[in-house]
Amino acid sequence: MSDDTATEPPDDGRETDEMNEPFTYNGGRVDPGESANIRYGISETYLGDPVRIPVTVINGEHPGPTVFLSAAAHGDELNGIEVVREVAHDWDHSILHGTLVCLPVMNVPGFIAQERYLPIYDRDLNRSFPGREGSTSARRMAHQIFTNFIEPCDLGVDFHTSTRGRTNMLHVRANMERSDVARLANAFSSNVIIAGEGPSGTLRREASEAGIPTITVEMGEAHRFQRRLIDRALTGVASVFAEFGLHRESSVHWPGWRTVIDTDDEKTWLRADAGGIVDMKRGRGALVEEGEVICAITNPFKEEEDIVTVEAPFTGLIVGVLENPVVYPGNPLCHLVGLSPDTLTALSRERTTESSRSEL
């Protein structure tokens, strides 16, 4: 629909002598062939001290796209922080065609409090983009981040985890109706893509609408570093760099199988019909057969006659699942998605060759 030619890798024939552009933001500049660790003020505390976010800009020697990687818009979602930190630490400007803007902790007040939202009136930073001057504290912070470090970019990846008390498979969320966003989503090399434009005010939706194709990567649970998920995400990042020409030596990675789930016809959150304590039988990434018992909801005495079992209504993949094993009626138990016959075959084949469930 809206192909953005700025995200195309530069033509191989003409890049050798060209120099990359400086990266500039309010009050600073990073020249081609330089990297900088910046602490950038986006607000002030009750004491009048600056609230500063860490930003690493790695400006490659060679021209190419400018890419942002961001994490911890929700302050307790830690896996992405490690992904962005490792990219910022490990990738050198000497090998990059283009520029990396790494924002490992956007919601600094939430991160310090280890809470999802900004502690100031519980505002959601990830519903406050693109932000606005002269507005609420959350929107002012979002505005500072967006104008200085998102708008100069050609594409971006925003890392999240499941909400506290739940976990999910590594998956991409992206507006697959936009070809530029779909290209990025496919390049990230996840097994599962959940299609949809995302709620208003999220970084990925607002950046995409501003002409900066952006995806969200969801991975694991809050309050943890989950090494296998972090490694898979790093593979996805390198694959994106290959697709968009930032790193010519990397290659685009195919995850082996892929399913794209349309959020519109997704009625696949299984919810509890009884309150109680949940005995979960299957975990994140499990393939379950129709009729298989996924979990049992029990009373405080574990009385047999009061156990409510929950069966899979169809054969599918558990993309997300609760970790905190207590529910009211109506609370989500797991996110189960159906698979096409081809995907099911590919996934079953993979499962017989490696015990990979815990890596998902």
**Chain contacts with Zn ion (rule: CB under 5 A):** 74, 77, 160
State the minimum distance, in angstroms, from the CB of residue 167 to Zn ion.
13
Q: How far apart are CA 36 and CA 304, in angstroms?
A: 62
Nearer to Zn ion, 77 or 323 (CB): 77
State the minimum distance, in angstroms, from the CB of residue 72 to Zn ion.
8
Nearer to Zn ion, 97 or 160 (CB): 160
State the minimum distance, in angstroms, from the CB of residue 205 to Zn ion.
13
The letter for the amino acid at 282 is R
State the minimum distance, in angstroms, from the CB of residue 171 to Zn ion.
13
Nearer to Zn ion, 54 or 198 (CB): 198
State the minimum distance, in angstroms, from the CB of residue 140 to Zn ion.
20
For 263, the token pair is 């959020």
CA torsion sign for 178, 184, 187, 191 is negative
Nearer to Zn ion, 74 or 282 (CB): 74
Q: How far apart are CA 346 and CA 254, in angstroms?
A: 13
In this structure, the strands spanning 326-327 and 276-280 are antiparallel
Nearer to Zn ion, 204 or 282 (CB): 204
List Cβ neighbours of 113 (8 Å cut-off, separation of 6 or more): 75, 119
CA distance to 61, 175, 182, 356, per residue, from 178 (Å): 30, 6, 6, 32
State the minimum distance, in angstroms, from the CB of residue 42 to Zn ion.
18
Q: How far apart are CA 32 and CA 26, in angstroms?
A: 17
Nearer to Zn ion, 187 or 219 (CB): 219
DSSP letters spanning 208-253:
HHTT--EEEEEEE-TT---HHHHHHHHHHHHHHHHHTTS-TTS-PP
In this structure, the strands spanning 214-220 and 166-174 are antiparallel
Nearer to Zn ion, 93 or 160 (CB): 160
State the minimum distance, in angstroms, from the CB of residue 125 to Zn ion.
9
